[in-house]
Amino acid sequence: MAKPEKVDAVNELSERFNKATATVVTGYRGLSVAQLEQLRKDLGEGTTYRVAKNTLVKRATAEAGVEGLDELFVGPIALTFIEGEPVDAAKTLRDFAKDHKALEIKGGYMDGRAISTAEVERIAELDSREVTLGKLAGAMKAKLNETAGLFAAPASQVARMADALKSKKSEGADTESA
């Protein structure tokens, strides 16, 4: 008979897998409690970093319908459940792993499939959603300014031609009166 606390832990993990837009599996052997707390703090809101037992995680993934991660559940593991955009969390994990060699990014799960360590790294290299939207807005504004300039060009050409014609007529009138 399963212990109630283990059943609760499996249910919680299964629910987190279902809610998360992405999950990253890491090995944390050799990190201190203070370092793990710093990592949790660095990940910020919308991201949960949880140490879990492999047997419970395997049951939770089976319950949640998550496939392809069983080979990652070797040794002490922690799961990073990301709700929202995964780019910032992937960057934080990558940067933390560079500074703390004990943190090992093993892989993850996103968009209904398992992802490799290399794919997590590629996600970390992407611009965040806000940066991408800012670049898109800047590009759109530049095109709008260019279009406005094109529409204004004929009117300004007509004005310059009228001004040139007026100055030419006035020069002609000045030479006739002299």
Domain that holds residue 137: 128-178
Are residues 91 and 21 part of one domain?
A: yes
Are residues 94 and 8 part of one domain?
A: yes
The pLDDT of residue 166: 84
Are residues 107 and 122 part of one domain?
A: yes
Are residues 145 and 58 part of one domain?
A: no
Are residues 140 and 119 part of one domain?
A: no
Are residues 101 and 13 part of one domain?
A: yes
The pLDDT of residue 82: 94
Are residues 133 and 107 part of one domain?
A: no
Amino acid sitting at position 12 = E
Dihedral sign, CA of 44, 46, 118, 101?
Answer: positive
The pLDDT of residue 177: 57
Structure-token pair, residue 78: 């922690």
**Domain edge (last residue) among 126, 151, 168:** 126
If phi > 0 it is left, if psi is from -120 to 50 it is alpha, else beta; for residue 107 that is: left
Domain of 92, CATH number, reads 3.30.70.1730
What's the predicted TM-score (pTM) here?
0.72
The three-state secondary structure class of 102 is coil
| pLDDT tens series, the chain, 178 aa | 478 888 899 999 999 999 999 999 999 999 999 999 999 999 988 899 999 999 999 999 999 999 989 999 999 999 999 998 899 999 999 999 999 999 999 999 998 899 999 999 998 888 777 777 887 888 888 888 888 877 777 777 877 888 888 888 887 666 655 5
Are residues 65 and 37 part of one domain?
A: yes
The pLDDT of residue 1: 47
- Residue for token pair 């990592």: 39
